[in-house]
Amino acid sequence: MSPSPTALFCLGLCLGHVPAQTELLPKPSLQALPSSLVPLEKPVTLRCQGPPGVDLYRLEKLSSSRYQDQAVLFIPAMKRSLAGRYRCSYQNGSLWSLPSDQLELVATGVFAKPSLSAQPGPAVSSGGDVTLQCQTRYGFDQFALYKEGDPAPYKNPERWYRASFPIITVTAAHSGTYRCYSFSSRDPYLWSAPSDPLELMVTEFSEATTELTVSFTNKVFTTETSRSITASPKESGSPAGPARQYYTKGNLVRICLGAGILILLAGFLAEDWHSRRKRLPHRLRAVQRPLPPLPQTRKSHGDQDGGRPDVHRRGLCS
């Protein structure tokens, strides 16, 4: 592998002379399609994009000696060995461009998926706080949170089995679908499978709508009040006059019916109490009646003390 243009330029400065290339061309862009997070055995395409009329593209994998002089690299099935950092550059004539920003190509699905939860819950009001927590049963020391539509995940190194991603003062922009990954710092481009998706819902609270509703209610109340105050007796023929009279008569009828029902109930209660009071002395007099006399029996010869027969004495003890 030949030295990069930037290395040659720096080497010339160190040796005391500047090479013929006195300036570097603008850097190209490098992207992975459809995403830089690639499940194992799934396809991905790396594309280097420079200005029109480029003579030569060079796409290289850092920390290795592999490169190709093409703008597009198609990977039909993602492998662990292909994960890592990539960059590209281009050449026009004798001039080389600055290298592109580094692209981290990550292989996912290498380990079992973690779980993702929201505390206190996946529904939060705008302006509130929520914490997304990624948890795994393995001892990984690195975690990443990915939101669908964002260009890159959020990483959080937290040991060992879980990581928290607090979101302070959430807005509508935080709504969406989230997934998290776990991996080890020893193999930073070999990640777990993504967690099950978590849908974060941010509900908007519009103070303007509330103020408008209150203002509208106060306005209607004020208008009705002023109308009732400024109405004169001459306007009794208007639709408002008969309506008020109708409601007044209806209220009087309801009051009279309620009063009549209460009077009937009071009468029933008084009659029942009076009848109970009359029956009470009869029950007392019945209790105070004398006991009936004992039946007369013939005296036996063994009854020497003038008492009752032995048969009754035996019956009491039995």
pLDDT surpasses 60 at 118: yes
Task: State the pLDDT at residue 287.
Answer: 41
Torsion of CA 133, 138, 139, 144, to 10 degrees: -40
The two three-digit tokens of residue 208, written as one number: 């303007």
Structurally, at CATH architecture level, domain 112-203 sits in Sandwich (2.60)
What is this structure's pTM? 0.57
Please write the tens of the pLDDT for every residue from 180-237: 999 999 999 999 999 999 999 998 765 544 444 444 334 433 333 333 333 333 444 4
End-to-end CA distance of the chain: 125
| Summary mean pLDDT of the chain | 74
**Residue 3 DSSP one-character state:** P
- Where along the chain do the CATH 2.60.40.10 domains lie? 24-107, 112-203
Cα–Cα distance between 24 and 182 in angstroms, integer? Answer: 39
Residues 60-88 have a mean pLDDT of 95
Q: Is residue 86 over pLDDT 60? A: yes
The H or E element containing residue 245 is helix 240-287
CA 25 – CA 6 distance, rounded (Å) = 11
Q: Is 225 helix (H, G, I), strand (E, B) or coil?
A: helix
Confidence of residue 293 (pLDDT cuts 50, 70, 90): low
CATH number 1.20.58.60 given to 24-107: no
- How many angstroms separate the CA atoms of 184 and 66, rounded? 25
**What does the pLDDT read at residue 269?**
80
Residue with the bigger pLDDT between 260 and 119: it is 119
**Across-strand partners of 164?**
133
Residue-level pLDDT at 257: 80
Q: How many CB atoms lie within 10 A of CB 240?
A: 13
Rounded Cα–Cα distance for residues 316 and 302 (Å): 18
Tell how strand 190-192 and strand 103-111 pair up. parallel
Is-cis flag, bond preceding 52, omega within 30?
A: no
